[in-house]
Amino acid sequence: MVFQEKNESMVLDSLRNFLADQELALNGRLPPERVLCEELNVTRGKLRKALAVLEGEGQIWRHVGRGTFFGPRPINNLTDVEYLNAHSRPTEVIEARLAIEPQLAKLAAVHGNARNFAEMRRCIRMSRNAREWRVYESWDNNFHQAVAAATCNSLLISLFDTLNIVRRSTVWGQLRPTRLPPSDHKSFAEHDAIYEAVVGREPELAANLMRTHLKSVRDRTYAAMEV
Amino acid sequence: MVFQEKNESMVLDSLRNFLADQELALNGRLPPERVLCEELNVTRGKLRKALAVLEGEGQIWRHVGRGTFFGPRPINNLTDVEYLNAHSRPTEVIEARLAIEPQLAKLAAVHGNARNFAEMRRCIRMSRNAREWRVYESWDNNFHQAVAAATCNSLLISLFDTLNIVRRSTVWGQLRPTRLPPSDHKSFAEHDAIYEAVVGREPELAANLMRTHLKSVRDRTYAAMEV
DNA sequence: AATTTGACCAATTCATCTTTGGTTTAGTGG
DNA sequence: CCACTAAACCAAAGATGAATTGGTCAAATT
């Protein structure tokens, strides 16, 4: 019996028995191929064929370097920002901002509280005081983040953070025409208007102002690139 | 000059100069404390006080084991879905869907191609054929994912994926009144209408239909919860 | 002709050491 | 007694390299 050659279906059966008998550990991991094929007394090739069948049935899942596990394949737990950075083009980023940030402004006007408003005001003030582009950009960024925070929706805040990280890394290192942001920089007025609409609890107006703001940012960026 | 003792504000000034002069690397990282205090010829304690001021101003951010960086502190470098699951309430999830998915439908109507449309059609057909709630839900889910895919914007698709994972895990295990989705299930018609609007290249209409669809889903969910 | 065997590959894990911001403590000088 | 310094120590994160593991290929074997 032990020395009998096993055909394909017999290997499958012994594998199923193995799975049924085994008190699998919490993680549901089963022995590596090289060990299992010795335990079941079959060649690695035959074992792999049987494992492939079980994987096709959705009974197990496998991953190079990790092992073979019982149960359905788990979904991706983490959104890798590095990957997004490498794969998203600038046009995608601005499109995504235009799609999402006006909605955030709208909800900020609905749910924002005094603390949120104070933070927005602080960002506006600090961006006006900025003496360098880098500093200005950092406070501009903080302002948009403050708007997201004012939605009081942790899920949306988190989604915006992801978007924001990608944005910053694609815009990073852009050349600036002047060392100082001009005092009549268009974004100043636009940020002010957005702030007023949010504090004034005018959701639709806030969304529209955010949309036009992002469009003008986009246009300026393109104009700078064409030169 | 070199051997002169520096007081607090002088340290701050030399630090600001350092930041201005330095061509910071892409990641915006500046030298570790122990190096920087030698370069600026100040004690570590004084340097740390000055750095604390800059951090308070939001100009730099620091993290044990990583270093000191220029710019605003990034909140989360990668989005941990486990964390989001634990911290987002169902109302947040539906609010986020209402904020984002109509925009996705709009962009799908702009950028979608024949392959995207075919996938949407397939999801609709499969959801109608479903004989169990579980199966129906999976194809309903696939439909919304197909809409996101039709934006042809990898960044937006990824953001939607994150939102979707959170959504699925909060809705998970919800009780269903009947084992089978009724053949006049309201979502069928709504999905059809969204599909028509997207294929017909009517962005605004698609967005509005998605919005009403999500609202009716929300209302049904609440109604079921009240019982 | 089919199968086995062994070697190799790339992804992943694991253990270990180094780096880094933050904290504590003993020492120094006024 | 107080302020400051220097050094040591700590926990978190990174870096590094060896070991593990599923996947693949080609020569050897039957």
Name the residues in B46-75 having a C-beta closer than 7 Å to nucleic acid strand D: 46, 63-66
- Which of B20, B107, B154 is nearest residue A132 as measured by Cβ atoms? B20
C26 C1' to B45 CA distance, Å? 16
Residue B183's pLDDT is 61
Residue B176's pLDDT is 56
Considering only CB atoms, which chain B residues are within 8 Å of A85?
none
| H-state helical runs in A22-113 | 33-39, 44-56, 81-87, 90-111
Q: What stretch of H or E contains A31? A: none
Which residues are CB-contacts of B131 (< 8 A; sequence separation ≥ 6)? B180
- Residue whose Cα is closest to the C1' of D21: A65
d(C-alpha A169, C-alpha A161), whole Å: 12
What mean pLDDT is predicted for residues A192-218?
97
C28 C1' to B38 CA distance, Å? 21
3 state DSSP class of A201: coil
C13 C1' to A65 CA distance, Å? 7
Query: What band does B17 get if pLDDT is binned at 50, 70 and 90?
Result: confident
**Long-range pairs for B17-22 at CB < 8 Å and ≥24 separation?**
B19/B54, B19/B59, B19/B60, B19/B70, B20/A132
What mean pLDDT is predicted for residues B15-29?
73
pLDDT above 90: residue A29? no
pLDDT above 70: residue B88? no
pLDDT above 50: residue A23? yes
Query: What band does A176 get if pLDDT is binned at 50, 70 and 90?
Result: low
Query: What band does A110 get if pLDDT is binned at 50, 70 and 90?
Result: very high
Q: What percent of chain A has pLDDT over 90?
A: 43
A154 and B77 within 8 Å at the Cβ level: the answer is no
Q: Which residues of A touch B (CB under 8 A)?
A: 75-81, 84, 87-88, 92-93, 95-96, 99-100, 103-104, 106-107, 126, 132, 134-135, 138-139, 141-142, 145, 153-159, 161-163, 165-166, 168, 172-173
Residue B10's pLDDT is 83
Hey, what are B131's tokens?
């004989």
pLDDT above 60: residue A77? no
Residue A192's pLDDT is 96
B74 and A161 within 8 Å at the Cβ level: the answer is yes
Q: Mean pLDDT in chain A? A: 83
Query: What band does A4 get if pLDDT is binned at 50, 70 and 90?
Result: low
Residue A88's pLDDT is 61
pLDDT above 50: residue A181? yes
What mean pLDDT is predicted for residues A161-168?
80
Query: What band does B79 get if pLDDT is binned at 50, 70 and 90?
Result: low
Residue A14's pLDDT is 86
Considering only CB atoms, which chain B residues are within 8 Å of A141?
71-72
Residue B1's pLDDT is 42
Question: Mind listing the pLDDT tens digit for each residue in B149-160?
Answer: 999 998 898 889
Residue A125's pLDDT is 93
3 state DSSP class of A77: coil
Residue A59's pLDDT is 78
Residue B56's pLDDT is 85
Sheet holding B60-63, edge to edge: B29-30, B67-70, B60-63
Question: Mind listing the pLDDT tens digit for each residue in B177-217?
Answer: 556 666 667 889 999 999 999 999 999 999 999 999 999 98
Query: Which residue is listed with tokens 């060392």?
Result: A179
| H-state helical runs in chain A | 8-21, 33-39, 44-56, 81-87, 90-111, 114-129, 133-149, 154-171, 186-199, 203-226
pLDDT above 90: residue A84? no
Residue B209's pLDDT is 97
What mean pLDDT is predicted for residues A52-65?
85
Query: What band does A1 get if pLDDT is binned at 50, 70 and 90?
Result: very low
| B191/A28: higher pLDDT | B191
Residue B173's pLDDT is 44
Hey, what are A163's tokens?
């978007």
Residue A16's pLDDT is 82
Considering only CB atoms, which chain B residues are within 8 Å of A81?
77-79
Q: What region does A71 belong to: left with phi over 0, alpha with psi -120 to 50, or beta?
A: left
pLDDT above 90: residue A100? yes
d(C-alpha A175, C-alpha A197), whole Å: 32
What mean pLDDT is predicted for residues B110-138?
86
pLDDT above 80: residue B30? yes
B161 and A99 within 8 Å at the Cβ level: the answer is no
pLDDT above 80: residue A44? yes
* Cα dihedral value B23, B76, B104, A167, nearest 10: 0
Phi and psi at residue A201, to the nearest 5°: 55, 45
d(C-alpha B40, C-alpha B18), whole Å: 9
Residue B77's pLDDT is 47
Is B67's CB less than 7 Å from nucleic acid strand C?
Answer: yes
d(C-alpha B82, C-alpha A165), whole Å: 20
What mean pLDDT is predicted for residues A190-216?
97
Question: Mind listing the pLDDT tens digit for each residue in B125-146?
Answer: 988 887 767 668 778 888 998 9
Query: What band does B2 get if pLDDT is binned at 50, 70 and 90?
Result: very low
Nearest to B140 by CA among B102, B178, B194: B194
Considering only CB atoms, which chain A residues are within 8 Å of B78?
78-81
Is A71's CB less than 7 Å from nucleic acid strand D?
Answer: no
pLDDT above 50: residue A2? no
Q: Which amino acid is at A37?
A: C
Residue A105's pLDDT is 98
| B4/A105: higher pLDDT | A105
